[in-house]
Chains A and B, each alone.
Chain A
């Protein structure tokens, strides 16, 4: 696999569906506090969040809008320094931003407007010392995977919002990071494309053994993609619960339905009983 994965230890191979390993985590978030300085003072978004992510694990972060999910992801990516606590990745504390933690941002305008779709994916590879021909071939392959092969020569402004997001996904995947950070990447896609890309993502992660940290609003998406789900409360958020969802089975199973109900309750009112028919995405 890519050079970014080479420094990942393979001695402690973990079964894809194995239980939590006790080894050194790839990512550790310890009592992290995050916020922003505003004219009114320091505005705390993430109050106190701790969790660990093992290699190859797929962690879903879920929580109400504005609870600090994006903030947390940006801190892990190295863009925001915690006001308290510590983030370490592969043993390094507070690493600066880098391609070992490729990010798909929530914002639409994350493509280089002056580069074609193909070059948006190939250029980051060249930056990371891949040969031009190799980078282009790899970029084509990942664009094909996200269903954008036909749009390779367009410029970003000629794409729809969902297409732009898929280019960003292809770019992040092509970088073959040790841990992939995705912030609601499928939020703007139709249900069918979304389901297809969820399947592709699972397949790619299986193949590349990439670790995933994925932010979403959707409980179903969490259950389809995740090994564990970090449920955050309202800002300043703390971890409401860390739920293991590895063994929920297919969406039509009883275990899946139970888990779905449990997560819904957690999200809706921190464990209190809630109307089963309440609409919650």
Chain B
């Protein structure tokens, strides 16, 4: 990806390790390996349903799920539910990030702000996001605001603590260089501190997304926002109420696909920035150098 010499170097390094494995699974490209595995799992699933003669009110075949999935996208119920969930999630994370930014500035500038953040984080961060849902419902009523509150609360703490740590652990020498070349305080923050803290910021956003995502689905399962406009959690719960099991599965598949999609976006973001700059090493998992 970067210099012309590194692929050659990588080959030279990995060649002796790979030689014993002449032909086999490992030689296939990553996308093919994972596609084959997925196909095998779906095959097993289909075989289980066909051979065991399971109750269709409890378990759906891949075929039925695929049909429900396609129907759901055709008639707009799944896209609508997805859009609702993603919209509320994005808004909630946005609010969370904003509050986190204020807390971070406060914590970076003052000792009391720092102490406050440490205290609040250690109390509220371990709290599962949905745990505050009953309170949120009491305070905001049965509406989107309650959801936003729950999501924001789930995302503020991982973002704030990571970004604060990122700023605090910036190498003092690089800050000194910034001041030495004549940067103003404002540009020192935007041009040196912010990029230097980026690995932590991305970690914070990743954690926030993971927390927020799980929280919103759980919250939507507990209560669906007004009928037609419910999110994916509501879609699943609703399908369950009417015993449309393939739809329950289709909702789960959608959630899984979205999850993979978000992870991919973060992966690309990281590869373009912190990995490229050598500020974070590439994780050793998922397909090695083929990607």
- A residues with a Cβ closer than 8 A to B are 74, 77-79, 96-99, 101-103, 105, 107, 109-114, 123-124, 127-128, 153-158, 171, 175
Contacts and interface: CB of A to CB of B under 8 A. Distances in A.
B180 A103 contact: yes
B126 interface: no
Interface stretch (B100-108, B240-248, B272-280): B272-280
A158 B3 contact: yes
A97 B176 contact: yes
Interface residues of B, number: 23
A127 B177 contact: no
A99 B176 CA distance: 11
Given A155-B2, A155-B276, A156-B278, A110 B181 contact: no
Contacts of A127: 181-183, 187
B3 A109 contact: no
A102 B181 CA distance: 7
Residues of B contacting A: mostly: helix
B228 to A, nearest CB: 47
B9 to A, nearest CB: 10
Contacts of B278: 113, 155-158
B181 A113 contact: no
B6 interface: yes
7 interchain residue pairs of minimum CB distance: A157-B278, A124-B181, A97-B179, A99-B182, A114-B195, A107-B173, A114-B277
Interface of B: 2-3, 6, 171, 173-174, 176-177, 179-183, 187, 192, 195-196, 198, 273, 276-279
Contacts of A103: 176-177, 180
Interface core residue of A98, A101, A114, A156 (most chain B CB under 10 Å): A114
B180 A154 contact: no
21 contacts: A77-B180, A79-B176, A97-B176, A98-B180, A98-B182, A99-B182, A101-B180, A107-B173, A109-B174, A112-B195, A113-B195, A113-B277, A113-B278, A114-B196, A123-B181, A127-B181, A127-B187, A157-B278, A157-B279, A158-B6, A158-B278
A85 B230 CA distance: 71
Nearest to B181: A124
A105 B195 CA distance: 21
A155 B181 contact: no
Contacts of B183: 127
A114 B279 contact: yes
Contact of A110 (B177, B273, B279): B177
A123 B195 CA distance: 14
Contacts of A158: 2-3, 6, 278
A67 B121 CA distance: 43
A260 B171 CA distance: 38
Contacts of B196: 113-114
A155 B179 contact: no
A171 B177 CA distance: 10
Given A97-B179, A113-B195, 7 more contacts: A77-B176, A103-B176, A109-B173, A127-B182, A154-B2, A155-B2, A157-B278
Nearest to B187: A127
A135 to B, nearest CB: 12
Given A155-B276, A158-B2, A158-B278, A109 B171 contact: yes
A107 B175 CA distance: 13
Interface core residue of A78, A97, A111, A154 (most chain B CB under 10 Å): A97
Nearest to A103: B180
A29 B174 CA distance: 26
A97 B179 CA distance: 6
Contacts of A101: 180
B179 A114 contact: no
B172 to A, nearest CB: 9
Nearest to A157: B278
B118 to A, nearest CB: 21
Contacts of A114: 195-196, 198, 273, 277, 279
A22 to B, nearest CB: 31
Contacts of B2: 154-155, 158
B180 A99 contact: yes
A155 B273 CA distance: 11
A77 B182 CA distance: 12
A153 B3 contact: yes
Nearest to A113: B277
Interface core residue of B180, B195, B273, B278 (most chain A CB under 10 Å): B180
Contacts of A112: 174, 177, 192, 195
Contact of B180 (A102, A111, A155): A102
A124 B171 CA distance: 18
A157 B3 CA distance: 12
Nearest to A171: B181
Interface core residue of B171, B173, B276 (most chain A CB under 10 Å): B173
